[in-house]
Amino acid sequence: MTGPATPPSTPSSAASGTPVDFTSGPPDGAPQLRADAARNRSRLLDAASQLLTEQGPERLTMDAVACAAGVGKGTVFRRFGDRSGLLLALLDHREHEFQGAFLGGPAPLGPGAPAVDRLHAFGPALIRHESDHHELILASRKDPLRPYAAPPYRLRHTHVAMLLREAGSGPDPEYLAHTLLGATDTALVHHLTKAGGRTFEQLEANWHDLVSRFTGPGA
Amino acid sequence: MTGPATPPSTPSSAASGTPVDFTSGPPDGAPQLRADAARNRSRLLDAASQLLTEQGPERLTMDAVACAAGVGKGTVFRRFGDRSGLLLALLDHREHEFQGAFLGGPAPLGPGAPAVDRLHAFGPALIRHESDHHELILASRKDPLRPYAAPPYRLRHTHVAMLLREAGSGPDPEYLAHTLLGATDTALVHHLTKAGGRTFEQLEANWHDLVSRFTGPGA
DNA sequence: AATCTAAGCGGACCTTGGTCCGGTTGTTCG
DNA sequence: CGAACAACCGGACCAAGGTCCGCTTAGATT
């Protein structure tokens, strides 16, 4: 440790935008984190979060984050693998919120409503979520194959496929789920709203149209 | 010009895989190319093509291409903008072949057949085309937003949207076209066939299913 | 408390995409 | 043909992601 150490207590809370507590790392995945490692992890996430809200994703270099956290560069890469990993980790908290909403939140997005209704509710929520974090999401997309293998996409896919199956969508709900998710891809939505002149309302209407076609008389 | 100049005649023909003549640059887009610039351009494409078939996309560094072409690095960037640009230029020839097939080739892919039939024919052709060049296509995807703004995607989108409109697909054929193209995205197809255990036949069947849903009774 | 070990650390180092600018060379026009 | 100009060339240079390895230290064991 070289840089000026921050006070040992409450090392968290992001800069301005939206304070998120990074002190509690995910106890799953990684078996356990040594005390200093956990501390550095949250320092790094704090620093990254701050740099992000202050200067945007393009200025978020690994050196800058390491330096701002008072940590060596190697530490950043060891903890997060690569730049995308750091960005994704930054997104993780929001991602869990969204997951909680459609897995266990109030109906019709959460359980309790008919599958078709949940499906209709899912699109707008997803579009909203991705749009809220499009900067981070787009910045983390260096490898076009990676998203499909990552937990967020897999979970959404499983969820949508289950609802489609439950709603009786036809022979291959898994593929239809990919199609539905593709239709709300962050990059596409961003393109359509920024360069294509579409509004969110139109995109939502299109989602509903798609869901209708996929759950209507076509089984 | 520093490196050992290749014989002045017939500077083209790729290494092994599939010889493509790069001597004729696109007379559109760029107003005109000075003689030496055109020569260097085709040398670079030749060198890149050779490196590609010999060692795969990941070994295709800009330095290596410049060196192999006997040209300075700056020349590569001036001509192609960035790495993706070079990769896309490498793909351009094949892209034009594919475009010719669905714009002016034999029916049912080309004109002459009913819109629905052309739509059904388009999917398999597209999947085949993208799969054939998935290495290049995936390697060129660094910026997730770029594909939507690039000519190949725009042309496909216009084409599919037109066919959908012609087939009477409903209120927003443009969006349905995006959905259809998203369902055959190179990365998705690659993911499904490599990690998802799908076969091309299944993907084609799914395409036909989607087209049916989009052109069936839903206007 | 002393010891031992594996996890962690940091920053020098490498690679590679991308920029810049002084010198060179086609091309055109008188 | 010769001058003038714009396009072009090349490689030194920079930034940023990613790797490596010798040193440090948390935390378990006795």
CATH at B61: 1.10.10.60
Residue B172 to residue A148, Cβ atoms within 8 A: no
Q: What pLDDT, on a 0 to 100 scale, did the predictor assign at position B218?
A: 52
Last residue of a domain, one of B62, B81, B100: B81
Residue found under tokens 């005390």: A35
More confident residue, A13 or B24: B24
Q: Strand D footprint at Cβ < 7 Å? A: A 34-36, 60-63, 73-74, 77-78, 82-84, 142; B 1-2, 33-34, 36-37, 39-40, 70-75, 77-79
| Same domain assignment for residues B186 and B113 | yes
Last residue of a domain, one of A45, A62, A80: A80
| Same domain assignment for residues B152 and B68 | no
Cα–Cα nearest to A60, from A44, A74, A71 = A44
pLDDT by residue (tens digit) across A174-186?
Answer: 999 999 999 999 9
The answer to whether A62 CB is within 7 Å of strand C is: no
Q: How far apart are CA A62 and CA A72, in angstroms?
A: 10
- What is the DSSP track for B151-192? HHHHHHHHHHHHHHHHTT--S-HHHHHHHHHHTT-HHHHHHH
Q: How many domains does chain A have?
A: 2
> By percentage, how much of chain A surpasses pLDDT 70?
84
Give B-chain residues touching A83 at CB under 8 angstroms.
none
A1 in a domain, yes or no? no
B120 in a domain, yes or no? yes
| Same domain assignment for residues A65 and A121 | no
B1 in a domain, yes or no? no
In this structure, of A9-23, A112-126, A131-145, B204-218, the range with the lowest mean pLDDT score is: A9-23
Query: Judged by CB atoms within 8 Å, which residues 149-188 of B form the interface with A?
Result: 149, 170-172, 175, 178-179, 182-183, 185-188
| Same domain assignment for residues A74 and A90 | no
B6 in a domain, yes or no? no
- Rg (alpha carbons) of chain B, rounded to whole number: 20
Q: What pLDDT, on a 0 to 100 scale, did the predictor assign at position A216?
A: 78
* A142-177 burial: b if 16+ Cβ within 10 Å, else e: eebbbbbeeebbeebbebbbebbbebebbebbbbbb
Residue B210 to residue A179, Cβ atoms within 8 A: yes
Query: How many A/B residue pairs have CB atoms within 8 Å?
Result: 83
| Same domain assignment for residues B89 and B72 | no
Give B-chain residues touching A185 at CB under 8 angstroms.
182
Q: Is B213 on the interface with A (CB under 8 A)?
A: yes
Q: pLDDT confidence of A218, banded at 50, 70, 90?
A: low
Domain extent, residue A122, equals: 84-215
Last residue of a domain, one of B31, B65, B81: B81
Average pLDDT over residues A52-62: 94
B179 in a domain, yes or no? yes
Average pLDDT over residues A195-219: 90
Cα–Cα nearest to B183, from A3, A181, A210 = A181
Average pLDDT over residues B181-195: 97
pLDDT by residue (tens digit) across B136-167?
Answer: 999 999 999 999 999 999 999 999 999 999 99
Query: Judged by CB atoms within 8 Å, which residues 43-82 of B form the interface with A?
Result: none
Q: What pLDDT, on a 0 to 100 scale, did the predictor assign at position A12?
A: 39
| Same domain assignment for residues B23 and B99 | no
What is the number of helices (H) and of strands (E) in chain B?
Answer: 11, 0
| Same domain assignment for residues B104 and B65 | no
| Same domain assignment for residues B92 and B181 | yes
More confident residue, A101 or B3: A101
A145 in a domain, yes or no? yes
A2 in a domain, yes or no? no
| Same domain assignment for residues A114 and A184 | yes
CATH number at residue B192: 1.10.357
Q: pLDDT confidence of B15, banded at 50, 70, 90?
A: very low
Q: pLDDT confidence of B216, banded at 50, 70, 90?
A: confident
What crossing angle do the helices spanning B173-182 and B200-215 adopt, rounded to 10°? 170
More confident residue, B26 or A71: A71
On average, the pLDDT of chain B sits at 87
| Same domain assignment for residues B143 and B197 | yes
| Same domain assignment for residues B130 and B166 | yes
Q: pLDDT confidence of A170, banded at 50, 70, 90?
A: confident
Q: What pLDDT, on a 0 to 100 scale, did the predictor assign at position B170?
A: 83
B4 in a domain, yes or no? no
| Same domain assignment for residues B94 and B195 | yes
Distance from CA of B98 to the nearest CA of A (A): 23
Distance, Å, A141 CA → C5 C1': 39
Q: What pLDDT, on a 0 to 100 scale, did the predictor assign at position A123?
A: 98
| pLDDT over 70 (residue B12) | no
